[in-house]
Every structure is written in C-alpha cells, then in structure tokens.
Homo-oligomer: A and B are copies of this chain.
C-alpha cells in the first residue's frame, strides 16, 4: 500500500515510535504518563497525524484546532488549525512526505497557521502559505505563516 497520512492513536506503540523524533518533549511524556495512569484509554485520539512506511512511523505532525474567539491571525476571525511538529525522520526525507502531510492538513476544511522554522520558508511558500505581517506583541519572535482555503 502506498504510504499515506493517517490519524495517530495514543498507545504504547505510537509513543515508542515518537521517541525517534527530535521534537519529543513534555507533550509526549505527558501522554505516556496519562496512559500509564489509565487517564486515557489505549487508542485515544491524539492531535497527531503520521505516515507509515512498512509498519514504521516515518513522518508526523500535530494539528490543534483553535477556536475563532482566540484567533488573532485571520480577518474575519475564524476557527483554524495550528500545525506543529512537522517532522520526517532522517533517511526518509526527499520522498515528499512533508508536503503530503501539509496537503492532508489542507483537506481538513480549516485555514492553517504554523510557526515556520529556519530553512523551511520556501517549503511553506511553495505550498501556498504566506508570511503574516509581524506583530511583536502577538508573535514574540515567532515566524507565523498562514494558509487559507479561499486565498
């Protein structure tokens, strides 16, 4: 089967796979603790999406839905997805998995905001994202890019 994007579930296997990714911190640790303490069920929905190749998780991202009442990026304000932790494992880059993930995020029916990392500007520009006008109070050093389905 062609590798495709799928929603990830919180379980021990997924959390073990997460350990291979660089951006693995308090969030993943908290998920593991919740699982151990039976605070979440095995297979609970997570904000993570990923691509498997031969049974191995090789790319992932998270999508958080932000309610329009907290929106400070779109005019008029809208509920949108914050895209974070987009990452493809070393050895699996150059296969278009990153773009495949972002394209999948676009199919979710909401505008998208992301904080673009060093060197990833061209990647997001090619995918139709645009830099916002920098606002020091709102952005405090972040590098926000947005995408809107109607743009």
**Chain A residues proximal to chain B, CB less than 8 Å:** 22-27, 29-30, 47, 62, 64, 82, 84-85, 116, 118-119, 121, 131-134, 136, 139-144
Bound-complex Cα distance A78 to B39 (A): 31
- A142 proximity list for chain B (CB < 8 A): 26-27
A46, closest chain B residue (CB): B136
Instruction: Tell me if B26 and A140 are in contact (CB < 8 A).
Output: no
Q: How far is the CB of A64 from chain B (nearest CB, A)?
A: 5
- A141 proximity list for chain B (CB < 8 A): 23, 27, 47, 62, 64, 84-85
Copy number in the complex reads 2
A26, closest chain B residue (CB): B134
- A30 proximity list for chain B (CB < 8 A): 133-134, 136
Scoring A84, A140, A141 by chain B CB atoms within 10 A of each residue's CB, the highest score goes to A141
CB < 8 Å: which of B85, B119, B131 contacts A26?
B131
Instruction: Tell me if A116 and B25 are in contact (CB < 8 A).
Output: yes
Q: A29-B134, A134-B29 are in contact. Are A140 and B23 (CB under 8 A)?
A: no
A87, closest chain B residue (CB): B118
- Given contact pairs A25-B121, A84-B141, a sample of 9 additional A-B residue pairs in the complex whose CB atoms are under 8 Å apart: A22-B118, A22-B119, A24-B118, A25-B143, A26-B139, A27-B139, A30-B133, A30-B136, A62-B141
